[in-house]
Amino acid sequence: MNRRSFLTISATLAAGALAACAPVPAPQLGTDGKPLPKLYPIKPGDKAAIEYRMLDGVNALRRARGVPPLRLDALLTSAAATHSRDMAVQNRPWHFGSDGSSPLDRVARTGYDGILLGENISETYETETETLAAWMGEADTRSVILDPRARDMGFAWFQEKNGKIWWTLVTGGPKP
């Protein structure tokens, strides 16, 4: 190695080391004194990638528990999308639609041939993988994801202009 290349490499390493020592900016705080959420902007072209990241994550968790994998179902996804948008309109995360519909009603309206087994919802600024982790942290939402009777999954979201995301995951299975 000649002297010139050594000095260039040394200068590059020193610059990287100095950058690593730079102070981390303090998070911006909201009026409640808590850090403001980091926005996760979803572009229209991200739909398939996000759906399949969630499906892959769910199936990895199911595989680890020895339960059959799920497949993404268009009808259940339609029911999930309807509810995500409706929760945003109502500005509250809950399982009932503004028209009084239940998850059972929404799935029936799509013409899904199986039965509804569960629905998970979330109001957050988090990514789909962070949302899945949060659902796995609670017994009731974890049971929806790991239900051994489930064979199908619908997954959708609605993102408001301010970045808030309303996530809905629906599981279904064959009629008994």
Encode pLDDT of 61-75 as tens digits: 999 999 999 999 999
Looking at every residue in the chain, the average pLDDT score rounds to 86
Gap between the Cα atoms of 84 and 71, Å rounded: 20
Please report the pLDDT score of residue 37 as a whole number: 66
- What letter does residue 175 receive in the DSSP assignment? -
> Does 9 have pLDDT greater than 50?
no
Name the residue with tokens 């892959």: 56
Helix (H) or strand (E) holding 71: strand 71-72
State percent of the chain over pLDDT 90.
Answer: 70
Please report the pLDDT score of residue 11 as a whole number: 39
Please report the pLDDT score of residue 5 as a whole number: 35
Contact 26, 19 (CB under 8 A): no
- Dihedrals phi, psi of 44, to nearest 5 degrees: -55, -35
Higher per-residue pLDDT: 36 or 96: 96
Q: Give the pLDDT band of residue 44 (cuts 50, 70, 90).
A: confident
Q: Give the pLDDT band of residue 33 (cuts 50, 70, 90).
A: confident
Beta bridge partners of 156: 168
Structure tokens at 23: 């102070």
Gap between the Cα atoms of 158 and 153, Å rounded: 17
Please report the pLDDT score of residue 32 as a whole number: 77
> Does 163 have pLDDT greater than 50?
yes
User: What does the pLDDT look like over 83-141, one tens digit per residue?
Assistant: 999 999 998 898 989 899 999 999 999 999 999 999 999 999 899 999 999 999 999 99
**pTM of the full predicted structure?**
0.79
Please report the pLDDT score of residue 22 as a whole number: 53
Higher per-residue pLDDT: 45 or 29: 45
